Structure 1
C-alpha cells in the first residue's frame, strides 16, 4: 500500500461534458479558479486541458494555456502543473470512404502537439503512449511509435517530466521501450487509465497485471472513469500507486449529485486518509517525481 499519496485533479478534459454539468470549467479564469480550489482541497497536481470559450470544446490554443498558467501562478497557491499534450490525435473516419477524415478530426504530428509545452515549460506534460479505438463509432486516437519517439525526445530536451498515459498493456510495453532507449529520464512516471472504451477495463486484476509490468523504481498513478472513479482511489492506493480524480473523468460525487473538482479532491483525500495514508504536498510530490525546479 502507498503510505504517501499524490492526488491529481484532472480539471476539465476535452470531452463534450460542459453541457452536462455547470461545474465543468470552460474559460481560462474558470479553469484556473478550479485549479486553485482543487489545490486548496488537497491536490498536489492539477492536470489541465483548455477549451474554446465559444464552442466549449477542447482546444490546442497556446494563448488559452498561457492565461491559465498565468492565473494559477498569480494566485500564489503552490501546485504542480501538468499540461495535456494529447490534443491533436483525434481521427474520425467516414464509413463510406475510410481514407477521408470527417468532422471532429484534429490530427497533427507529435511535435505539433507541444507548442504550449515548449513555451510554458510546465512541471509535467502528458504523453499518450499508443493508438486506440476510442469508444463506439469511428473515432480513433492516433499516437504512433514514430510520433511518440519524436515527442519524447523533444520533451526530454525541454526538461519537462512526461507522464506516460497508458490505456492498455501494449502501450505499457512500448512505454518501457522508450525508457530502454533512453528517451525517458528516471524516475519514469506512468498514469494507468482504466475503463476507457476500448482500452484496459476497470478490473482490479487487470490493474494488478499492469502494475506487475512496470519498471522498478517508477512512479505510477491510476484512475477509472465514471462511477468507478472514487472506488478506484482506494484500489490504486492499495496497490502502491497515486490517484487521480476530477471532472475530466467523472461528473458526480454520488448518484444524481453533481460534483466540483474540489469536492472530488476532498472525497479522495478522505478515502486515502481513512486508509491510514498521508496526502503528499506539492513539494513532496516534486521530490518524489524528480521534477526540475523552475525559476
Structure 2
C-alpha cells in the first residue's frame, strides 16, 4: 500500500478524534489536549486522507513518552502503524532522547512493541481515565533504550531479513530478481518445424539482442553450420559470442557442451578455448547420461569431470544441467572434490520421457536436494515449459525458456512461439507476482560472474 508520513498540524484535530474514537482513545486526547504540541505528532495519509497518527512528549531532557499511536481498523496490517512508530522514534532520537516509555493495556500491543523494537516491561500502573479497553484498569509501562535500539537497528533489521530469506516462504521473504535464461535454438528445432528458430550466425546474434532487450540476462547458445546442423566447431561460436558482446556486452553468453551428437570431449570443449570477446561467460554441463526420443546424450562421469576441470581452468562458470535426482549426487561429488565450487547455477529440466517428470513433487525434491550456495532455474520440455516456469517463479527459483525446449505458445499447438513472446509471457507472470526481473548486471552479481 502506498502511504506517506507527514508532520501533523492543528488542522488535523478532527482527523485525530475520528481515528481515536474507533479505539475508544479519544478521552486520552481530550484530557491532555491543552498540553499537546502538534509538532510532536505525525500523520499517515493514503490518497490525501489521514488514516493514522502517532506522537510523543518529552518528560525531561533524556526521557520521552510515546502518545496515541492509532490507525483506522481497516488499515491494520499495512505497516502504517510501524512506519509511524519508526518516524517518531527517529524524531525523539534527533531531539536527544535516550529513554522512551510507552504505555499499553493489551497483550497484542505489548508483544508488538517487544517483538519489533525490543521494549522491556518495567511496571504496571492504574489508568488515569477511561481509555481503550474499558474492562482493563491498569496499563503496562514499557521501556526502550533508544540509544541501543538506534545503534543496533541496522544489524537487527539485516538479521531479520536474512532469517526471512532463509526460512519464510515467498512473498513473506522478498523474491530475488528473476533471472531469465533463454535457450534460443537447439539440436532439434529446424526451419521446417518453425520459421522462428534462429539458425545462422547473424540470426542467433539478432535473437540474442532482442531477448536481452526484452528482459533476458542469459542466452544459452547452440551453433549451427552452413547446413543448419548443430555443431561444436569453435569458429561458429567465436562469431556468435563476439557479435553478441559487440552489441550487448553485459549479456551473459552460455555455450553448450552438449553430448547429444556423440562428439569427443575435445570437440565438446572447443568452445571453452575461445578468448577475448569470444570467450563464453558460462558453459552447459549436463551431469549424466540420458535418453531423448531423438537419441541418447552421453555424459560419462569422466567426460563431465574433464569438462568441469577445463571450465574451472578457463574461468568459465558451469551451467549445471539436472534431469533427475541422481545428477544432484554427481554435483555434490564434484563439489566435494573442489572441481566445482562457490556459487553454483543449476538448470532443472523436467518432462523428458526418460528422466524426472514435470511435476511439482519432482521439482521440489530436486531443488531442495541441491547443495548449499546454489541458484536454480527450472525448465519444462515441450508443453511442460509454462507450468514448470510458473512453478519456479512462485517457488523463488529462476527460469529457462526458449524455442530449444518448446516451439509452441499454446498447449494445443495451434500457435508457434517466438523467443520474444516466451520472454514476454514470463515477464507478465513475474509482474503479476510483483517479482522484479534481474538485469544482466544484477545476474552477474548473483551468480558471481
Same fold flag (TM > 0.5): yes
Q: Give yes or no for contact 1:16–1:57 (8 Å, CA) kept in 2.
A: no
8 Å contact 1:11–1:31 — kept in the other structure? Answer: yes
Alpha-carbon distance in 2 for matches of 1:77, 1:154: 24
Equivalents in 1 of 2:419, 2:291: separation in Å?
28
Shift of 1:274: 1.1
Residue 202 of structure 1: how far off its partner (Å) = 0.5
SS of aligned partner of 1:133: strand
Distance 2:192 2:186 in 1: 13
Over the aligned positions, Cα root-mean-square deviation in angstroms equals 1.5
Partner of 2:51: none
Unpaired runs of 5+ in structure 1?
91-104
In structure 2, distance between residues paired with 1:163 and 1:199? 19
Which of 433, 437, 446 is 1:279 aligned to?
437
For residue 357 of structure 2, what is the aligned residue in structure 1?
Answer: 201
Partner of 2:409, secondary structure, is strand
Q: What residue in structure 1 maps to residue 231 of structure 2?
A: 59
- Does 223-232 or 19-28 show the bigger shift? 223-232
Query: Which among 155, 158, 174 is matched to residue 314 of structure 2?
Result: 158
Bigger share in helix: 2
SS in 1 for 2:378: strand
> TM-score when scaled to structure 2?
0.58
Q: How does 1:34-183 map to 2 (within 5 A)?
A: 34-54=207-227, 56-76=228-248, 78-86=250-258, 89-90=259-260, 105-109=261-265, 111-119=266-274, 120-135=278-293, 139-183=295-339
How far the C-alpha of 1:134 sits from its partner, in A, is 2.1
| Partner residue of 1:7 out of 180, 184, 188 | 180
Q: CA contact under 8 A between 2:254 and 2:281: conserved in structure 1?
A: yes
Cα drift, residue 77 of structure 1: 5.7
Q: Distance in 2 between matches of 1:77 and 1:121?
A: 12
Deviation at 1:8, TM superposition (A): 0.6
What residue in structure 1 maps to residue 383 of structure 2? Answer: 227
CA distance in 1, matches of 2:262, 2:369: 32
Q: For 2:189 and 2:409, how far apart are their aligned partners in 1?
A: 19
- Distance in 1 between the 2:191 and 2:351 partners? 21
| 3-state SS of paired residue (1:257) | coil
Q: TM-score, normalised by structure 1?
A: 0.88
Runs of at least 5 residues in structure 2 that lack an aligned partner in the other structure: 1-169
Q: Please say if residues 221 and 243 of structure 1, whose CA atoms lie closer than 8 Å, have aligned partners that are also in contact.
A: yes
| Aligned CA distance change for structure 1 residues 71 and 121 (closer, same or farther; 3 Å) | closer
Task: Please give the alpha-carbon distance, in whole angstroms, between the structure 1 residues aligned to 2:448 and 2:249.
Answer: 20
Contact 1:3 1:276 in 2 (8 A): no
- 1:6-25 paired onto structure 2 within 5 Å: 6-25=179-198
- C-alpha distance 16-246 of structure 1, shift in aligned 2 (>3 A): closer
Contact 2:393 2:430 in 1 (8 A): yes
The count of residues paired between Structure 1 and Structure 2 equals 271
What SS does structure 2 have at the residue aligned with 1:162? strand
How far the C-alpha of 1:215 sits from its partner, in A, is 0.9
After TM superposition, the structure 1 = structure 2 runs for residues 212-291 of structure 1, keeping only pairs within 5 Å, are 212-254=368-410, 255-291=413-449
The question of whether the paired residues in 1 share the 8 Å contact of 2:182 and 2:402 is answered with: yes
| Rounded Cα–Cα distance in structure 2 between residues aligned with 1:195 and 1:60 | 26
2:183–2:403: 8 Å Cα contact kept in structure 1? yes
CA distance in 2, matches of 1:215, 1:276: 28
